[in-house]
Structure 1
Amino acid sequence: MARRYGGNPAAAIILIAADIAAFILILWILFFLLDANRANDLVNWVHHAANWLATWSRDLFTPDNAKWRTVLNYGLPALVYAGLAHLIARRINA
Structure 2
Amino acid sequence: MSPRHRYGSSQAATAVAVVADVLAAIIGLWILMYLLEANRANDLVQFVQDAARWLAGWSHDLFTFDVAWLRVVAGYGLAAVVYVFIGHLVAGRLRRY
Q: Which residue of the partner structure matches residue 77 of structure 2?
A: 75
Q: Write the mapping of 1:6-85 to structure 2, written as runs, cut at 5 A.
A: 8-85=10-87
Looking at structure 2, the residues matched to 90 and 25 of structure 1 have their Cα atoms a distance apart, in angstroms, of: 23
Q: Which runs of 5+ in 2 are unaligned?
A: 1-8
Opposite residue 75 of structure 1, the aligned amino acid is G
Q: TM-score, normalised by structure 1?
A: 0.91
Runs of 4+ with deviation above 4 angstroms: none
Q: TM-score, normalised by structure 2?
A: 0.88
RMSD value, Cα: 0.9
Opposite residue 79 of structure 2, the aligned amino acid is P
In the alignment of these two chains, the number of paired residues is: 88
Looking at structure 2, the residues matched to 52 and 17 of structure 1 have their Cα atoms a distance apart, in angstroms, of: 15
Q: Which runs of 5+ in 1 are unaligned?
A: 1-6
TM-superposed CA distance for 1:12, in Å, is 1.1
Q: Which residue of the partner structure matches residue 4 of structure 1?
A: none
Looking at structure 2, the residues matched to 53 and 39 of structure 1 have their Cα atoms a distance apart, in angstroms, of: 21
Q: Percent identity?
A: 52
Looking at structure 2, the residues matched to 24 and 40 of structure 1 have their Cα atoms a distance apart, in angstroms, of: 16
TM-superposed CA distance for 1:59, in Å, is 1.3
